[in-house]
Structure 1
Amino acid sequence: MKSLIAIALLASAALGATAASAQQAPAPAIPAPAPAPTRTAPPRLIVAISVDQFSADLFQQYRNHFTGGFARLLTGAVFPSGYQSHAATETCPGHSTILTGMRPAHTGIVANNWIDQSVARADKTVYCAEDETVPGSDHTSYTVSDRHLKVPTLGEMMKNARPATRVVSVAGKDRAAVMMGGHKVDELWWWDGKTYASYAGRAVPRAVQRGRDAVAALVARAQAPLPLPDFCRALDRPITVAGTVYGQGRFARAAGDLKAFRASPPSDAAVFAIAAGLIQDMKLGRGRDTDIIDIGASATDYIGHSLGTQGTEMCIQMDQLDRTLGSFFDTLDGWGLDYEVVLTADHGAHDMTERQQQHAMPMESHVSADASIKAVDAAVAAALGLKGPVLLGAEGDVYLARGLSPADRARVLAAAQTRFAAQPQVAAAFTRAQIAAQPMATTPPETWTLLERARASFDPAVSGDLLVLLKPRVTTIETPAAGYVETHGSPWDYDRRVPILFWRKGMAGFEQPLSVETVDIAPTLAATIGLPVHGLDGRCLDLNPGAGDTCVR
């Protein structure tokens, strides 16, 4: 819809609006649909979607219930076993692989946060999408930046080869927008907790301002419970964790509650509404060269962390996201655009420990405080007669304190590795020397050793001196608390496996059940638009089997 597309999609997609309120938006002027493209013609628009924390397990659980956008994607090229093949299965590293074709060892994005003891501020933790040189910043109050992404994205490659290409990135998280968009973007916007933001000094496009206004009006009103689909009723069971009951939520929200909005289906609908508005206003997909828009749907991750994956909350989210995608694709169809879609995820996830224990998973456990960096640091310092801290940590990476002498560094590293490895919940503790000496794996990702998975996440410039990996089904959450009951980040397949779905009008659908990687997405999309790419970790996937290989060999 011309100037009100954002509001129209918000009203129709997962916002609990009445049919009457949706009808109040002006009807769009819909041109004739585009004819089915020929096999050799490149699409005019690439739509790259990441659903944060959309595991292959979640996809498999709900694929038979999809009737909207996901159902459409299931008629295309379906890869149910895509791999974020590295060990550090977090949001920032995962998003860095999707459109670069490179693993975190090459993107430089080894985690959401890491330690850099050389930074000129008291806070030595660095956030993956910040500029830590900005005075007065810290890793939780930062200036968003692409400085740590070491490689170009597909959008950058397209723009370098064909300067008329437009590159747009919109997401529910800054790190998703930045890592998918890259360094050369025409528009880049994310939800900052209060509104949709971008880099300082950028003018606010009309589509973004419409989205801002629509969301502000929405959040100002209380949200009634969203409907519970019939297929969700089997999951309508309570579970109490840390004094809070989960499993039966329906996203009722008090007026003004921005945090609840972020962890709900309407936040994804808003992102797609803004994306659609930018496509319309910027006339993406109508220029002489192929354009690309990257869309990061973040609500699934926020819902998973705060509410778990196996209650009514996630079931409603899957249903509403399916509807939102369907509305979005229908809108693009109505505009007559020739577009190609890829949808995947930055990582998987594992449901809350307490519910998994009820679901015949007695080996499920929270990590013990004895395995924490703080506990091991204190024990190693005491055993060696050193003044602590001697160890610093972020995520699974452990760093030796900068002031240690070479001799003490060797002693601390050996003692820390021994102590971590002795913990009953620890699967492995690798030194940076061990990881660096490991060649990059070339076999299918499900066969990789832990050391090979660690190597794919290792960058000597920012990675730790020791990497600690927990055993399967041991969560890094020591003590669950309201708002954080489930997580990810492990090297195990429930966190590594994600779906990869390609769709374009007229393509012959098929399903390939064997493993592929998210780094295969960029070279595959590049092949569909005739863009030569070289030196990537990923390989091109043939999306046209039996009708001539689309990949350049």
Structure 2
Amino acid sequence: MSSTPRRAIARCLSTCLLFGALAPLQAAESPQPKLVVAIAVDQLSSDVFTEYRPLYQAGLKRLAGGVVFPRGHQSHAATETCPGHSTILTGTRPARSGIIANDWVVPSLPRTINGRQTFSVYCVEKPGPAGSSTDESTLTPDTLLVPTLGDRMKARDPATRVVSVAGKDRAAVMLGGHNADLTLWWTSEGFRTYDGRQASIPKSIAETLNADMRKSYSQPTVPKLPAACASRSRELKLSEGVSIGTLQRLPGNSRRWRATPAMDAFTVDAALAAAKSFNLGRNESIDLLAVSLSGTDYTGHYYGTEGAEMCTQQLALDQSLGRLLAGLDKMKVPYVVAMTADHGGADATERNRARGVVAVERIDPSLQPVRINAALAADFPDLPKPLVINENYFANDIYLNANLPAERRAAVLEATAQMYRRHPQVAAVFTKNELIAAEPPSGPVDEWTLLDRAKASFNAQRSGDLIVLLKPYVSLYYTPENPETDYSSSHGSAWGYDRRVPIVFWWHGVNGFQQPAAVETVDIAPTLAKLIGLDVPAAEFDGRALPVVQP
């Protein structure tokens, strides 16, 4: 270890000891923050958090000394990045927020992308008109149909500053909301923001940090295996010439750079630089800093949730969060932290199978939309094609062609539903009408039915004509018929390993405890609102304020 990290750790320890000495005086008191810090760790499942908790030594160890809900839930069925991030600071499920998936289909809006007609809309995209290209699209928060906590804080006090920094654009937009002072996300060229707002990026990021990041990204990556991860370093062959489980050297400009510790480290650097530039927490108002770290998600996708890669990532994440907290300490402002994840994730199918997980398999190519359409075409040869639209390799939402004659739509819908229901990898199929008629979910979130989970994801204006849910441990990626990605593992299902995420609240002097009952990520925003004295009618949240201050 170099001398610089040793000095940083020493400073962090001294700061922790200082605040720790004050803890008994404040143990039973609510925090009085000037800064709210929301942290999302992309794909940090409760399973991974629990597995690596004994190894955390820095930021995650400190946070785990707070109020910990190890069985938090992203309660909806479509456990993807955009819906998951949308729940955290809105307090609403996708059914209300409208963020039903990373992408959804607008059957009446075909556009041209790379010479191909498409009906798909990205979750933070304002598309051009029908017939346009993606060049006419812009990123926007307007797809989010509800306010975020930051939006509400600004409505109460316009002097409030809101900064959102993330590894992914959709994460930054969902956390930042409609009126953020800075919404910043990673690209291979550097951190950027909305078109026309580049001047809002601090020079320390736009110039120095982005240059350093491009240099890191362009150079080969030679990962080092921490000693604590040695027992997890075991090669697992997925196919001839493709293996995971051991750290491998990456060439420069590799997309897999996103799955190295550098991704989160630069995101933390950007968050601290932005917090300093905007003087967060140092004014009369209460400010908000949202940070989403994407490295764990990319690690999980490329290499699975076990193995040397995830172990290395978790220890590096711990150090990055330690630097974030130490940097916030140096600002000398009282702050409160809420940490969670946008979704969980499953390990690679082959490793799950080797470790005794029953019924794990890769998705059957017959579930591809092109195959479904081909099978349906024989029964409806005279109708416009394609009959159904689903532009991913597989997605939960299935849409009928907008040009189908009204008197034939019911027959096409029923035939499509029956085709999915007969498939051995499908757990449930719900029609739009069934979901509209269903009661909103209630009761313990871990006991919800599949209908409840689908209802939490369903928005009548955006969701498909059918919602199709796969059986547990059916992985979407790494099949010969899906060459568009080199991911080995997936998430997005309605099952516990994708829904369960940790939820943690922490502040200096917190009287920490662990509450093992199941709660939801939509409980975070009302909890933070209560801590900062922000009055929001309960009906505007799907969640509730959790008891995080012990009497």
TM-score by length of 2: 0.90
Q: Quick one: which amino acid aligns to residue 48 of structure 2?
A: L
Does 2:56 align with 1:60? Answer: no
1:314-393 to structure 2, matched below 5 A, reads 314-387=310-383, 388-393=385-390
1:177-192 to structure 2, matched below 5 A, reads 177-192=172-187
Change (3 A) 1:102 1:280: same
Change (3 A) 1:247 1:370: closer
> Secondary structure in 2 aligned to 1:70?
helix
How many angstroms apart in 2 are the aligned matches of 1:283 and 1:542? Answer: 30
**Partner of residue 10, structure 1:** none
* Deviation for aligned residue 1:407: 2.0
> Secondary structure in 2 aligned to 1:384?
coil
Change (3 A) 1:42 1:172: same
Change (3 A) 1:31 1:51: closer
Change (3 A) 1:539 1:205: same
Change (3 A) 1:94 1:400: same
Change (3 A) 1:522 1:137: farther
**Partner of residue 548, structure 2:** 543
Q: Quick one: which amino acid aligns to residue 292 of structure 1?
A: L
Mapped contact 2:426–2:469 kept (Cα < 8 A): yes
Q: Quick one: which amino acid aligns to residue 225 of structure 1?
A: P
* Deviation for aligned residue 1:206: 2.0
Which one of 117, 139, 146 corresponds to residue 144 of structure 1?
Answer: 139
* Deviation for aligned residue 1:116: 0.3
Which one of 279, 282, 305 corresponds to residue 283 of structure 1?
Answer: 279
Say which is worse superposed, 151-160 or 111-120, in terms of deviation: 111-120
> Secondary structure in 1 aligned to 2:305?
coil
**Partner of residue 247, structure 1:** 244
Mapped contact 2:128–2:136 kept (Cα < 8 A): no
Mapped contact 1:130–1:139 kept (Cα < 8 A): no
* Deviation for aligned residue 1:359: 1.1
Does 2:104 align with 1:107? Answer: no
How many angstroms apart in 2 are the aligned matches of 1:365 and 1:403? Answer: 36
Which one of 181, 188, 191 corresponds to residue 193 of structure 1?
Answer: 188
**Partner of residue 444, structure 2:** 444
Mapped contact 1:31–1:335 kept (Cα < 8 A): no
Does 2:202 align with 1:205? Answer: yes
Instruction: Percent identity, please.
Output: 42
Which one of 214, 217, 233 corresponds to residue 215 of structure 2?
Answer: 217
Q: Quick one: which amino acid aligns to residue 48 of structure 1?
A: A
How many angstroms apart in 2 are the aligned matches of 1:140 and 1:94? Answer: 27
Determine which structure has the larger helix proportion and give its number: 2
How many angstroms apart in 1 are the aligned matches of 2:323 and 2:133? Answer: 39
TM-score by length of 1: 0.90
How many angstroms apart in 2 are the aligned matches of 1:435 and 1:252? Answer: 48
Does 2:155 align with 1:160? Answer: yes
CA RMSD of aligned residues (A): 2.4
* Deviation for aligned residue 1:290: 1.0
> Secondary structure in 1 aligned to 2:378?
helix
**Partner of residue 9, structure 1:** none
Q: How many residues align?
A: 525
Say which is worse superposed, 299-308 or 328-337, in terms of deviation: 328-337
Which one of 204, 213, 235 corresponds to residue 232 of structure 2?
Answer: 235
Structure 1: state its 5+ residue gaps: 1-16, 548-553
- CA deviations on 1:352-404 (whole Å, 9 max, x unpaired) are 11111111124101111222322222212212333431111152111111111
1:344-493 to structure 2, matched below 5 A, reads 344-387=340-383, 388-394=385-391, 395-477=395-477, 479=479, 483-493=486-496
- CA deviations on 1:453-509 (whole Å, 9 max, x unpaired) are 000001111100001111111122361667211111000011000000111000100
**Partner of residue 124, structure 1:** 119
How many angstroms apart in 1 are the aligned matches of 2:242 and 2:262? Answer: 22
* Deviation for aligned residue 1:419: 1.0
How many angstroms apart in 1 are the aligned matches of 2:61 and 2:320? Answer: 12
How many angstroms apart in 2 are the aligned matches of 1:328 and 1:452? Answer: 37
Structure 2: state its 5+ residue gaps: 113-117
> Secondary structure in 1 aligned to 2:390?
strand
> Secondary structure in 2 aligned to 1:340?
strand
